[in-house]
Structure 1
Amino acid sequence: MTGALAPTKPLTAADRCDRCGAQAYVRAVLVGGGDLLFCAHHGRKYSEALRSNGADIQDETDKLTTTPASASDDER
């Protein structure tokens, strides 16, 4: 996240991109209030323009490359 706005809650699988409806991984918190949600593709496309207009960007695209921990053999 950038800027000095209050932290926002993490994005979930229920959060959808405002442009295409895919799972959202980027939140742009607008200066005038409100926010926009974007998938990774649209987040990359619009983040710089939004940031230059003062939006605070919450980027969680690292979730796309993080491998969840799997259960050990003892837990199965």
Structure 2
Amino acid sequence: MNLTLEAPLLSTQDRCDRCGAQAYVKVLLEAGGELMFCAHHARAHEDALRPLAAEVIDETERLHIKPEPVED
């Protein structure tokens, strides 16, 4: 499994396949196809997904970014 950290590839339109929350992790499967997960479900299913994944795009670090305040 390769862990990729790059410029955001997931948008606010991408949704967790398990619960519908915003997806922060995309798993590209060895057999083809992809799965998307919120941070919670990505952690919960990580051990089961690891052997099936060709690549994991993990953008959970975006959850901890504090936006700059907007000045009037």
Q: Deviations over 1:41-72 (max 9, x none)?
A: 0010112321123442111100100112334x
For CA contacts below 8 A with separation 6 or more, give which structure has more relative contact order. Answer: 2
1:25 aligns with 2:7: no
Q: How far apart, in 2, do the equivalents of 1:22 and 1:58 lie?
A: 17
Calculate percent identity across the aligned residue pairs: 48
User: How big is each residue's C-alpha offset from its partner over 1:11-65, in whole Å with a ceiling of 9 and x where there is no partner?
Assistant: 0000000000000000000011110000010010112321123442111100100
Q: Residue 44 of structure 2 corresponds to which residue in structure 1?
A: 45
Check whether the contact 2:18–2:37 (CA below 8 A) recurs between aligned residues: yes
1:47–1:57 CA contact under 8 A, matched in 2 = no
Structure 2 residue ranges without an equivalent (≥5): none
Unpaired runs of at least 5, structure 1: none
Which one has the largest radius of gyration?
1
> Pairwise mapping of residues 1-76 of structure 1 onto structure 2 (< 5 A)?
2=2, 10-71=9-70, 73=71, 76=72
Higher strand fraction: Structure 1 or Structure 2?
2
How high is the TM-score relative to the length of structure 2? Answer: 0.79
